[in-house]
Amino acid sequence: MAGRGTRLRPHTLTTPKPLVPVAGKPIIDWLVSDILKMCPEPVEEIGFIIGDFGKEVENNLLNIAAAHGAKGSIHYQYEAKGTAHAILCAKELMDGKVIVAFADTLFKSDEKIDTEKDGIIFVQKVADPSAFGVVKMDDNGKIIEFVEKPSTFVSDLAIIGIYFFKDGPLLRSELQYLIDNDLKEKGEFQLTNAMETMKTKGYHFFPGEVAEWLDCGNKDATVYTNQRVLEFNKSKNLISPNARIQNSTIIPPCFIGHGADISFSVIGPHVSIGEKTKIKGSVIQNSIVLSQSQITNQVLKNSMIGNHVKVVDTPKSVSIGDYTQQTH
């Protein structure tokens, strides 16, 4: 998660993308929670590989690890040199079994990780494999090839950015070999190159399929992810008891945070409202409004509003005759 999240700007100018909230929790918090559900064994330590995001971000990440019962640690990648280089920044955590996850993606899976397998690469079928790294399998379901953004059809199983390695020291050794010998692909050190070498040494990789894969790469994708996460959790009470709601209709599923104040509005479905945000006289659906913002007399759909934002309009007095059409 060392990148700057340029595709999600302006929302990542002050908040790293993995800490942007969807359905009331940071993306990285949902990701950690979903990974831990798949683990048949306790996770002792969670390492976060970041750039220079500052102490507040680091403390937030450490608190997320602690909330899930694990020790947290911070590791730094100050220059983008590829996935292999980033993972190696946390090489001291590779003494046993290792899970690697890229922090701008969420998923839904009911599977448990089979920790007896050498390695598992989580994948999902996609309509257009040319936009992704994909895996090719043999007749026994073992992965025999990794192909990055194939120009001709190889497979429709896209790598979603979550991996399990039974042998952490071997992974560390192969990553270090790439760095030591300056073995780059497209100018960067790639994890898939290390996995190819592991495969030639008898390490067997298998696919792990997920039911749903959610990207948080840009605004539209993040708003859609918010919608899906709200659906996954709609059986839970997502409205804070400390939220103030008067003369308003809430169409579930919606998340409404602590201290939010909603009046004379229609909210939902699929809306997340951050803490201490005030909404008045507005209609909002399928949107994210973050914390301590003020929205007055607005109609919002498929929108994302940041923290400490003020969007206020004055109600208009209009006189429109019969059979008139007004469009914007």
What pLDDT does residue 9 have? Answer: 45
Give me the mean pLDDT over the 113-132 stretch: 93
| Mean predicted lDDT score pLDDT of the chain | 90
Q: What are the pLDDT digits (tens) for 187-229?
A: 999 999 999 999 999 999 999 989 899 988 788 999 999 999 9
Domains contained in the chain, CATH given: 6-229 (3.90.550.10), 236-312 (2.160.10.10)
Among 160, 137, 135, CA closest to 148: 135
Q: What is the pLDDT of residue 233?
A: 94
pLDDT at 207: 96
Alpha-carbon distance 63 to 66, whole Å? 5
pLDDT of residue 150: 87
- For 13-31, the pLDDT digits (tens) are 457 778 899 999 999 999 9
Asked if pLDDT for residue 173 goes beyond 90, the answer is yes
- Identify the top-confidence range among 10-14, 63-67, 147-151: 63-67
* 249-250 and 143-148 beta bridge pairing: unpaired
Average pLDDT for 279-307? 95
Question: Which residues contact residue 52 at a Cβ distance below 8 angstroms, ignoring those fewer than 6 apart?
Answer: 76, 78
With 0-12 / 13-18 / 19 or more C-beta atoms within 10 angstroms meaning exposed / middle / buried, residue 289 is buried
Percent of the chain topping pLDDT 70: 91
Determine the distance from the C-alpha atom of residue 110 to the mean position of all C-alpha atoms in its chain, rounded to a whole number. 18
Stronger pLDDT, 276 or 186, i.e. the higher one: 276
Task: Read off the pLDDT band of 327 (50, 70, 90).
Answer: low
Q: 249 pLDDT exceeds 80?
A: yes
CA dihedral 146, 151, 152, 156 (to 10 degrees): 50
**What is the pTM assigned to this prediction?**
0.87
pLDDT category at 313 given cuts 50, 70, 90 is: confident
Does the pLDDT of residue 6 top 60, yes or no? Answer: no
Closest of 113, 92, 119 to residue 36, by C-alpha: 113
> What digits encode the pLDDT tens for the residues 123-165?
999 999 988 889 999 999 999 999 888 889 989 999 999 999 9
State the Cα torsion 264-270-271-275 to the nearest 10°: 120
